[in-house]
Amino acid sequence: MLDFHLCRTLGAFHLDAELKVPARGVTALFGRSGSGKTSILRMIAGLDRPDHGHLRLTGECLIGGEHDHWVPAHRRNLGVVFQEPRLFPHYSVRGNLCYGMPLALTRAQRQRNRAHLHEIVALLGIEDLLTRMPGQLSGGEARRVAIGRALLSRPRMLLLDEPLTGLDGARKQELLHYISRLAREIEIPILFVSHDTRELFAVADRLALVDNGRITASGEIGDMLSRLDLAPQTGRFEAGSLLSAEVLSHDETHQLTRLGLGAGLSLKLARLAMPVGRRVRLRLRARDVSIALETPLNTSLRNTLPAVIHEIESERGHASAELVLGIAGQRLRARVDRLACEELGLKVGLGVKALISSVALSGPDVISLDVGDEAAQQDEAAGTSETTSP
């Protein structure tokens, strides 16, 4: 576990941040530009020194304590990836990857290094890049190599400082895929700095909100994103929910997939290239969820889920009302206009129907939580998994 309370004054900006980060998974520091996210990460990495405070990693004191301890950056054994890849231009990709590897003095150590190199290269999908020079790489490829170099140093923790900045949509989505896969397969914790909610949906397990130098709230990402009181920080337009689900079946005729949400409830969306039984995380935008008092007839909407209203927030100055619904033990955000909220008589505790269009959901909204074996991966690529009717 990482445990810190760091304070530093930079001109008129005062940082006073406190947080505990679990020993596994991805914890995201999220906030607008200038909120203090990168300053926190640099102090954790040992690149900047706080005015006072403490920092402990897996029980070891890196900053503070009784004797005002300070462990320099090169002795903290942390992997850091910045917004720019910072690869050595005169080394090939292989040379860059091997640069940070532990020194191998024996045959056994050399074998372990080779095995680890092969493992990381395969994990990040950079087998075909090993002989290239950094100038021959795309932005996304260079970021993957930088992440690989950090991992090959065998760090106790990986720190990613907005690694997707400056990438176009396709390259960003590609790197998100690899970071998400990385988070599921490696045993070390990841601290991920971002100001983009779409990145959080894809990779984060926990979320810490940073505002004006302070961590104002933290917790499991699903709970954090469904909290209405945090909407000013998490964003209103892209507000949504993360639901846990399982791939139940595929309908090849209509190119639909059925996902189970628990308690016998399911929803349909466009066909996923994932095998039956795969556990996934599903992103649902609040603006794509409608409310009805009864199950509608003769409608094109394919998903009607029974729900109970847990919270309602209707602010003056906003045309919409924000709702939190309970569905199969999970929390789902919805957004309706205030007039509809009044006309339908919506209130806390009322049973309603949540309406979701199948075309509002797509592949990028679904993140796999399982690490499949080779056969499952081939099934995903070929779309040959078991098919039954939803």
**Per-residue confidence in pLDDT tens, the chain, 390 aa:** 899 999 999 899 999 999 999 988 899 999 988 999 999 999 999 999 999 999 999 989 999 987 788 999 999 999 999 888 899 999 999 999 998 888 888 989 889 999 999 999 998 999 999 999 999 999 889 999 999 999 999 999 999 999 888 888 778 888 888 888 888 888 889 999 988 877 888 889 999 999 999 999 999 988 888 888 887 777 665 678 889 999 999 999 999 999 999 999 999 999 998 999 999 989 888 889 999 999 988 888 889 999 999 999 887 667 889 999 999 999 999 999 999 999 999 999 999 999 998 877 777 788 877 654 333 443 443 343 343 433
Nearest of 274, 276, 280, 262 to residue 369 by alpha carbon: 280
Phi-psi region of 300 (alpha: psi -120 to 50; beta: other; left: phi over 0): alpha
What are the residue boundaries of the structural domains of the chain, listed by start? 2-225, 240-382
Inter-axis angle of helices 107-124 and 169-185, nearest 10: 140
Give, in words, the CATH class of 2-225. alpha beta
The length of the chain in residues reads: 390
pLDDT value of position 371: 55
Q: Which two tokens stand for residue 375?
A: 């056969």
> Tokens 């020079």 identify what position?
133
> Tokens 């466009």 identify what position?
270
What tens digit of pLDDT does each residue of 156-168 get?
Answer: 999 999 988 888 8
Residues 37, 16: Cα–Cα separation, whole Å:
11
Residues 14, 10: Cα–Cα separation, whole Å:
6
Distances from the Cα of 332 to the Cα of 22, 139, 203, 300, 328, angstroms: 25, 36, 19, 21, 10
* Domain 2-225 matches domain 240-382 at the CATH topology level: no
CA dihedral 55, 57, 201, 346 (to 10 degrees): -70
Exposed / middle / buried, residue 380 (Cβ in 10 Å: 0-12, 13-18, 19+): middle
pLDDT value of position 104: 81
Q: Is CATH 2.40.50.100 correct for 240-382?
A: yes
What pTM does this model have? 0.81
| Backbone dihedral angles phi then psi of residue 92, each to the nearest 5 degrees | -70, 175
For residue 303, the number of C-alpha atoms closer than 13 Å in the C-beta half-sphere is: 26
Supply the DSSP string of 247-315, one letter for each residue. EEEEETTTTEEEEEEETTEEEEEEPPSS-TT-EEEEEEEGGGEEEESS--SS-S--EEEEEEEEEEEE-
pLDDT value of position 292: 94
pLDDT value of position 387: 39
Specify whether the CB–CB gap between 46 and 72 falls below 8 A: yes
> Tokens 């100038």 identify what position?
135
Q: Which helix (H) or strand (E) holds 144?
A: helix 139-152
